[in-house]
Structure 1
Amino acid sequence: MQKLAALLFLASSLTLARPAAAQAPVAYQVAFPNAVHHEARITATFRELPAGPLQVRMARSSPGRYALHEFAKNVYDVQATDSKGKALPVMHPDPYGWDVPGHDGTVVFTYTLFGDRTDGTYAGIDARHAHLNMPATLAYAPALAQRPAQVQFALPARWTVASQLQPDATGTTWQAPNLQYLMDSPTSLGEQQVRTWQEGGRTIELKVLHDGTEAELDAYTANTKKVVKEAAAIFGGLPEYDFGRYTFVANYLPQTSGDGMEHRNSTSLTSRRPLRGPEAIDNLGTVAHEFFHSWNVERLRPQDLEPFDFQRANMSSNLWFAEGFTQYYGELLLRRAGVYTDEQYCQEALTGIVQAMLNSPGPKRYSPVEMSQQAPFVDAAAAIDPNNRTNTYLSYYYIGAANALALDLELRQRYRTDLDTYMRTLWQQHGAQQNYAPAKPYTLRDLQRVLGEVTRDTAFAGQFFRQHITGHELPKYDELLAPAGLLVRRAHPGQATLGARLQFNPADSSATLGTTLLGSPLYLAGLDREDVLLKLDGQKLTGNTQVQKLLATHKPGDVLQVQVRARDGQRTVPVTLQESTDLEVVLNDKATRKQLAFRKAWLSGKAK
């Protein structure tokens, strides 16, 4: 026994002395013997282990998501053996993982995974496909995080693999250099339809599961190519993808949940919308947003997200830039690629950004940095208690996009430069250098510094960040958009409104309130969530059309008597109607040549 113990100790010492990349890779086998019931059977083999219990964990969070998701809840039938097949004890010290003692340097860890949500966060498995987000799928050993990993998929007939993982020469084993890369590699299995092309010396793959026609996919691919070209034009070329290719991992089957999730050399695209008609444009918007992420957030990455921690919620102060500026560019790319006209760009992009920024209470009280820090509570986070985010929060996507729009226009008007130049300069300083991870992630101070360099005006950069990024001063969009021949105006001038969305109750012709908007007529009247409107101006509430007809007979400033059942009893309260605050951005049909030239320089395609 002493000789055996000495040999095991020596083997462990030699293993630890070798670089992680030279140690035995973690090997996974993923099979689907019960796919019709949404199960996978997964085996993870850990070899060349040091003495002592092996800790195995399921991730609690996932790259690109910032809340906790507790993926261990869908793992069961856990077993472990050593290299000879001897059963090993499996301890369960916490909700997220297992400890395996008594091994002989090898642990074969096997479990069943349930997954029936096809999106960028979870795992979706059925008889037709498997869409796997790796943190939701693969158990891992934290102590072996620097080792390479290998994955073999037991594929049903006609299924193929879509993944940024690197296939071996036989195409049967898919490899990652380390745990961070493995967990960042979504994988879709099924009867893929594939479109591949070369762009800037890189291979771009569009691997799709969908029920449409070949012609629909061809048209969708043509627009995707335009988006790729326009995105590359902003940065002066495509990134150096780690294995020379970028993969759109796309699932547009009916059982799919809408989502888009960026990854280092790929993106997970999921939607039940088809690749035809107006819905194809909605899908293409996700393509544009997620592809822009292959620069912004994947390589041009905030320091407070690097490296990603799979065992906790990951908070960043920079999502207003990482997601918000990407939101701005995602829509702008559709215009530059010719998918939108100028008028459509105003309707589909600018109106939403400006409306949200100027009419939501949140931006008036909290900064983009503070909105970013809320991500662990709002980014697909689950909770059952009510909140007041209607009055305190605006998504970092929108508040960031709104500030990107304002900054782009200000740079063009005051400094004869643009946001493209700012992004390109940041890329050169903080994104271009990589080794499976960014070599120089940025801080908030870096973002301000580079703005000062691009404008050659550090005072302006400091003021912009104080007022709009760490502060909450609202941009003056009417002034900023005017040089482009665009108008910001009331969408429904003179129209009276209650400023609330009502949930109608057909059983008794009443309506239940959600959280009332700060400053709205019902808020000022002292009404709040779960209060029930019984009568409005003496009339029962039968539906939205009836309420709008009633309001159309009144003007802003009129006082209506509202019978309500609230927590403190039933009463009648006076409610003063307000003018609709809805805004829209439209083309100025009297735009000058100078304004049209400004708009063209901003919105026209840049790809050659």
Structure 2
Amino acid sequence: MRKSAATFLLALALPFGALAQAPVQYTVAFPNAVHHEAQVTVVFAELPSGPLQVRMARSSPGRYALHEFAKNVYDVKATDSKGKALTVSRPDPYGWDVSGHDGTVRFTYTLFGDRTDGTYAGIDAIHAHLNMPATLAFARGLEQRPAEVKFETPGGWQVATQLRPDPAKGTYYAPHLQYLMDSPTSLGSQKVRSWQEQGRTIELNVLYEGTEAELDDYTAKTKKIVKEAAAVFGGLPEYDFGRYTFVVNYLPQTNSDGMEHRNSTSVTSNRQLRGDDVMNNLGTVSHEYFHSWNVERIRPRDLEPFDFERANMSNSLWFAEGFTQYYGDLIMRRAGVFTDDQYCQYTLSGVVGAMLNSPGAARYSPVQMSQQAPFVDAAAAIDPNNRGNTYLSYYYIGAANALALDLLLRQNHKTTLDAYMRAVWQQHGKEQQNYAPAKPYTLPDLQRILGEVSRDTAFAGQFFRQHILGHELPKFDELLAPAGLTVRRARAGQASLVSRLSFNPADSTASLGSTLVGSPLYQAGLDREDVLRKIDGQRLSSAKAVQELLAAHKPGDVVPVEYRTRGGIRTTQVTLAEDPTLEVVTNETAKKPVTKAMKKFRDDWLSSKAK
């Protein structure tokens, strides 16, 4: 019954005339998987006259930089419906024009892929993990056609994907290109865990060499995460085919990554499901699952629809990614994966410390940080940059502002960030059409809804001016105090250079990376690639030796530093600073008073919300 109902709804959702169009048909085979190759065949039928423009994506949903996936495609050939070879030309580095067809083009190529993560394709003798923009070519002008994909796999491999299976054909279905490209697929010997949650099927499809007991424990914790995420929004989304799939690869050759998708998420890591690794892996699961609301259905207008042929810039990644970063860890606490102390140690200390100690956060807004994504989100470049002084990830700057906003709403407006997220969901996420949000949001929408939820439009305007469009730093010591949490120096009274050193054992020197604005070495005129030879007359044999040297001093002491720069060997005087590292701890740990009001505030904030 569920399948036939979904099929009926699918027909209503498709654009007029789409059902009559010939689907784009893909076949993906692995005759040379041991050498990381796949053979891909695409059949484009019922084509209008004129050259067919076939392209590989240059970017990928959930990533914002260019990745130029055409670089891993070769042995390109094209024939018509009768097998006649067609002329293939290269108009640019990203695709091929096919001329002389008879209304059908059979386009074939070899794909190389040996990076298993959420962006690329990873293929070997035991598995294939395919991000579709890195795998499947498409044709301009055919973006609204449905697609059918057939995977010709070695024996023992099963398919994990959000694409809709068609068992009669042995294929997998996507309603259009946007959905196809948003559907990562894992092929291999899957370990499956599946359960029902609020009438939807949630499933884990896992490639993992560990024990069944480890996977069972991981599944139990994932179930709690799913419940806590649903509690924030008041229920689960209407997954398009009634199913949400965690596409999980935890093999040794895997790179750590998480990538959100509409009805699934790609989770990859070489970490095991035991010890502290479990917490790290679950953190990715929690973050990516929250995305099934925030960014997949609650979507910024400047990312809708996603353009596969250019870098995609958004003003709102501080919200789409940063608020998700905040909730990913908060849900871990509410699900009982973290204790209060662990939440302070692993989450709050990092977010607060990054926000308050980052030179970039003090000079640029979350909106401006979001606009930097095409240059930093797994983007590749070989020239040096000054991001240490100009940038703080939209994940951290967004999470810090989410934390501040949640605490402000709880303290001053008798509401919560949960209520705000539910309101955004109701107005800009719940209604969907053609597998996309019906009402993508803008920055003014987010400000307006904050005014509605807080019942204070002046507060909403001020918060956006100061903290979202501006770069005023939150007062975290004041904001966290009602929860019985303390912000303090982690190494109070300790002298520091506030710089990372790379030690050179051969000559007992240390090389510098970029020095941070305001740090002792920056103030003294040292910069990247300068080499420290002596501090206070002592050679730099190891990190331990430098720590011992600094321990003999206090902040404010002036020490001579001998260094080699591009202009030769110099000596200068450096004033040591107090180590700026911050930490957030419970008042219990800080041995400070904890009142009943503090305990209630903390419990209301951090306790489970799932029923």
The interval holding the TM-score normalised by the smaller chain is over 0.9
Residue 427 of structure 1 is matched in structure 2 by: 425
Letter in 2 for 1:226: K
Residue 34 in 1 paired to residue 32 in 2? yes
1:464-513 CA distance string (max 9 Å, x none): 00000000000000000000000001111100000000000111111100
For residue 364 of structure 1, give the secondary structure of its aligned residue in structure 2: coil
Matched, 1:109 2:112: no
Does residue 449 (structure 1) correspond to residue 452 (structure 2)? The answer is no
SS in 2 for 1:33: coil
Q: Secondary structure at the match of 1:344?
A: helix
The normalised TM-score by structure 2 is 0.96
Structure 2 Cα separation of the partners of residues 349 and 224 of structure 1: 19
CA distance in 1, matches of 2:299, 2:225: 22
Letter in 2 for 1:174: Y
Amino acid aligned to 2:233: F
Equivalent residue for 1:598, pick from 595, 598, 601: 601
In the superposition, the TM-score normalised over structure 1's length comes to: 0.97
* Alignment RMSD: 0.9
Name the amino acid aligned to 2:127. Answer: H
Match of 1:149 in 2: 147
Partners of 1:171 and 1:201 lie apart in 2 by 27
Partners of 1:131 and 1:101 in 2: CA distance = 33
Partner of 2:232: 234
Most deviating of 580-589 and 418-427: 580-589
Give the secondary-structure state (helix, strand or coil) at the position aligned to 2:361.
helix
Asked whether the equivalents of residues 55 and 99 of structure 1 are also in contact (C-alpha less than 8 Å), the reply is yes
CA distance in 2, matches of 1:22, 1:234: 41
Distance 2:526 2:443 in 1: 40
CA distance in 1, matches of 2:20, 2:281: 42
Distance between the aligned counterparts of 1:340 and 1:272, measured in 2? 22
Three-state SS of the structure 2 residue aligned to 1:563 is: strand
2:349 to 348, 351, 366: 351
Deviation at 1:540, TM superposition (A): 1.1
The residue matched to 1:255 in structure 2 has which SS?
A: coil
| Cα pair 1:75 1:111 within 8 Å, conserved | yes
Runs of 4+ off more than 6 Å:
none
1:171 CA drift (Å): 7.0
1:19 Cα shift? Answer: 1.4
Residue type at the aligned position of 2:556? G
Structure 1 position 360 matched with structure 2 position 358: yes
Amino acid at match of 1:598: F
Question: What letter is aligned with 1:592?
Answer: T
Residue of structure 1 equivalent to 2:526 = 527
The answer to whether the Cα contact below 8 Å between 1:88 and 1:103 also exists between their aligned partners in 2 is yes
Work out the CA distance in 1 between the residues paired with 2:170 and 2:513: 53
Q: Which residue of 2 aligns with 1:3?
A: none
The 5 A counterparts of 1:23-422 are 23-170=21-168, 172-422=170-420
Contact 1:204 1:246 in 2 (8 A): yes
User: 1:75 and 1:492 mapped to 2: Cα distance?
Assistant: 52
Q: State, as a whole percentage, how many aligned pairs show the same letter.
A: 76
Shift of 1:18: 7.8
**Secondary structure at 1:492's aligned position in 2?**
coil
Which structure 1 residue ranges, 5 or more long, are not aligned? 1-16
Per-residue deviation, residues 508-539 of structure 1 (Å, max 9, x unmatched): 11110000011000000100000001111111
- Secondary structure of the residue aligned to 1:230 is helix
Change (3 A) 1:447 1:153: same
In the alignment, the residues of structure 2 paired with residue 21 and residue 191 of structure 1 have an alpha-carbon distance, to the nearest angstrom, of: 34
Distance 1:377 1:159 in 2: 37
Q: Give the Cα separation in 2 of the matches to 1:518 and 1:259.
A: 31
CA deviations 1:128-179 (Å, max 9, x no partner) are 1000000000000021100000000011010000000000033720010000
Matches within 5 A, 1:520-599: 520-589=519-588, 590-599=593-602
Number of residue pairs matched by the alignment = 592
In the aligned structure 2, how far is the partner of 1:405 from the partner of 1:236?
A: 20
Q: SS in structure 2 opposite 1:499?
A: coil
SS of 1:454's equivalent in the other structure is: helix
| In structure 2, distance between residues paired with 1:196 and 1:506 | 53
- Is the 1:194–1:208 Cα contact (8 Å) retained in structure 2? yes
* 2:490 equivalent in structure 1: 491
Give the match's secondary structure for 1:383: coil
Structure 2 stretches lacking a partner, 5+ long? 1-14
**Does the 8 Å contact 1:21/1:177 carry over to 2?**
no
Separation in 2 of the partners of 1:341 and 1:280? Answer: 15
Separation in 2, partners of 1:379, 1:18: 37
Q: Distance in 2 between matches of 1:336 and 1:77?
A: 52
Q: Is the 8 A contact 1:21 1:146 kept in 2?
A: no
Q: Secondary structure at the match of 2:141?
A: helix
Amino acid corresponding to residue 133 of structure 2 in structure 1:
P
Q: Which amino acid aligns with 2:551?
A: A
Alpha-carbon distance between aligned partners in 2 of 1:212 and 1:22, rounded to the nearest angstrom: 47
Deviation of 1:21 after TM superposition, in Å, equals 3.0
